Each structure stands twice: as C-alpha cells, then as structure tokens.
C-alpha cells in the first residue's frame, strides 16, 4: 500500500500541478523535446518568462476546483474512509494528510469519479512521471503471477536513490552508511538489494547481495571508460557497511553511444532483474555489450507506458 500511496501522491501532484510534487515542468518538457516526443508541448520562451503549453492532463483553475469539490462533497459509510473534507483544501486545491488506506480508496473509487468530464479521453503522461515507484506498479502483478508463493522467491529490496547519490557519498558518508545498514536490517531476509546510483550526471545500477557476499555493477559506459569498482564512491560505502571481503563484478551489459540513455537502461535492467533474472541469478547474468539503439529506447518507453496504463491501479484512466 506504500507503493500505491506514492503513486497516488505523484498522480495528484501532476493533475493538480502542486509545486514540488508535480512531475511536469520546464526540465521535463525540455527532455521530451530532446527525445522528439510531442514537440507541440515544448516550452515556449516569451520575453523573460517560459510558457508551458497545456497537456491532456492539464486542468484549469476552475477544473481543479470542480475536482476538489467533488471529492470534498463525497459521502461514504462510517469507517469506510477518513473524513474527506479534512483532507481537501478548497483554497489551495490540494489534498493533505492522506494515509495509505486513504490513497487506496482514492485511487480505486474516488478519483475515477472526480476526474470524469474534466480530462479528454486520450491520455498520456510525461516520461518523468514514470519514476522507480511507478515502475514497481507496472511489473508487480506479473511478478506475483510468475513467482507464486512469496516465501519461495528470492526477495528484492531497494535502497533510496536520494540517500546514496555520489554527492551524498562524498559529503555525508556516515549518513549513506547508516541508510545502507538501516535498510539491510529492516529487510534482513532479502537476498538482493537494488541501488540505482547517480554520480557525475550518470546513472549506474548496483545489485548488492550481503548474503552471497557479492556486488554486481551495471554501467552503460564501463567498457568505453574501462571502469572498475573504485570509480564509484558508493563502492566504499558498501564495503564499509558489509565488510571488505565482497566479490565485485563489472557486468558486461549493453553500452550507450549518447549521453542520456543511462537512466532508461538502469530502469530496464531493474525490470529485467525483478521479473526474470533474479530467479537464476547470477547464472543468467547479462553478457551483451553491444550499443543500445534509439529504436530500443523508443520500444522501452512505449512498452513501459503501455503496461502502466493496463495495470489495475490506474485502469480508471481508460474509463469511459
């Protein structure tokens, strides 16, 4: 339910354009323009100001008020849901203080009602909306179908990407170590820990297995740059947390030609690992170092978005 809460917060932040929570903005639009996707939504500079053309999910101030008023006025049976009037701020057009169960009810019942008639039938979201938490929703149902009983599968957990960045490793080493050990203690029965690592404008994926005393690093420029574990400040934090007797492997994974593909590939590596590779890992480890193509990236984005819109958690988006 924590996953559902995070997705609900992201969705409401986008629909209501809440500062600090929306996944749409100037940088997101510029990324979209650079990728050649929906150029009509590219930011437009007018003097000293930048104008963002409205997207299909953009609501006017009046539409936001209608959306919030619909939620504010909904009446439900006792104990079914929190007092919705206390959660909705009609003045700021925001929802505040929601708990996991509140988000579950909103996603499955209330938002589908409130949003009808306000948005067009054709819907698309910015690629920036599809962060790690949203991707979990994409493949979690397939994971359950493929894995069967949870206790028989190799468990996977995730380190917080914001607490293990290269900058954090260099400036707040103790807090990075504290986070690594804290997550490990909380998820002690877990076999694999995934750590998307951002350093010097580049994304890398660490797969950490304290149980097997092993760490695998997937870097889409490792071959060209001839990298090893010492090129990443996170490696020192992992060794300091779990001991120096770890086996390190630079995985022979697909490589990038440009400067922007790394983020997409890290997401794809995570999806592949959770859905397929973890069951026989490392026997089925990646071995291909060919360059990733633009066509592959386009297929990846299209595949992820299609699977997301078909998932139950946002099935209401296709409601008539």
Q: Which domains does the chain have, with CATH numbers?
A: 2-127 (no CATH), 132-307 (3.40.395.10)
pTM: 0.54
Half-sphere exposure of residue 193, counting CA atoms within 13 Å on the CB side? 28
- What integer best gives the mean pLDDT of the chain? 85
Please name which of 83, 85, 32 lies closest in space to residue 55, comparing C-alpha atoms.
Answer: 32
pLDDT, position 257 = 87
**DSSP, res 110:** I
Q: What is the pLDDT of residues 142-183, one digit of tens each?
A: 666 655 555 556 789 999 999 999 999 999 999 999 999 999
- Whether 138 has a pLDDT exceeding 80, the answer reads no
Please name which of 305, 281, 313, 274 lies closest in space to residue 158, comparing C-alpha atoms.
Answer: 274
Residue 293's pLDDT band (boundaries 50, 70, 90)? confident
Q: What is the pLDDT of residues 55-76, one digit of tens each?
A: 888 899 999 999 999 999 988 8
- Whether 317 has a pLDDT exceeding 70, the answer reads no
3-state secondary structure 135-200: HHHHHHHHHHHHHCCHHHCCCEEECCHHHCCHHHHHHCHHHHHHHHHHHHHHCCCCCEEEEEEECC
Between CA 293 and CA 272 the distance in angstroms is 18
Residue 318's pLDDT band (boundaries 50, 70, 90)? very low
Residue 305's pLDDT band (boundaries 50, 70, 90)? low
Pairing of strands 214-218, 156-158: unpaired
pLDDT, position 316 = 36
Whether the Cβ atoms of residue 302 and residue 239 lie closer than 8 Å to each other: no
């Amino acid at each position: 339910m924590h996953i559902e809460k995070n997705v609900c917060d992201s969705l409401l932040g986008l629909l209501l354009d809440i500062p600090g929570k929306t996944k749409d903005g100037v940088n997101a639009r510029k990324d979209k323009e650079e990728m050649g996707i929906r150029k009509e939504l590219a930011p437009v500079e007018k003097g000293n100001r930048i104008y963002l053309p409205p997207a299909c999910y953009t609501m006017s101030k009046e539409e936001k008020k209608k959306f919030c008023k619909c939620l504010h006025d909904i009446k439900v049976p006792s104990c079914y849901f929190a007092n919705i009037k206390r959660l909705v701020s009609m003045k700021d057009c925001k929802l505040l203080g929601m708990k996991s169960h509140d988000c579950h009810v909103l996603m499955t019942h209330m938002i589908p009602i409130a949003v009808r008639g306000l948005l067009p039938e054709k819907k698309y979201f910015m690629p920036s909306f599809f962060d790690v938490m949203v991707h979990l929703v994409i493949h979690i149902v397939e994971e359950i179908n493929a894995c069967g009983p949870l206790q028989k599968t190799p468990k996977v957990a995730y380190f917080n990407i914001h607490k293990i960045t290269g900058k954090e490793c260099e400036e707040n080493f103790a807090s990075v170590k504290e986070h690594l050990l804290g997550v490990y203690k909380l998820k002690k029965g877990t076999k694999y820990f995934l750590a998307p690592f951002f350093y010097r404008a580049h994304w890398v994926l660490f797969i950490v297995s304290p149980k097997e005393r092993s760490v695998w690093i997937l870097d889409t420029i490792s071959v060209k740059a001839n990298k090893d574990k010492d090129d990443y400040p996170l490696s020192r934090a992992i060794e300091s947390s779990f001991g120096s007797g770890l086996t390190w492997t630079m995985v022979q994974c697909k490589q990038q030609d440009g400067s922007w593909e790394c983020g997409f590939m890290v997401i794809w590596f995570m999806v592949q690992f959770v859905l397929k590779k973890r069951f026989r890992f490392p026997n089925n480890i990646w071995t291909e170092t060919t360059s990733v193509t633009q066509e592959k990236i386009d297929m990846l984005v299209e595949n992820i978005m299609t699977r997301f819109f078909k998932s139950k958690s946002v099935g209401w988006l296709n409601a008539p």
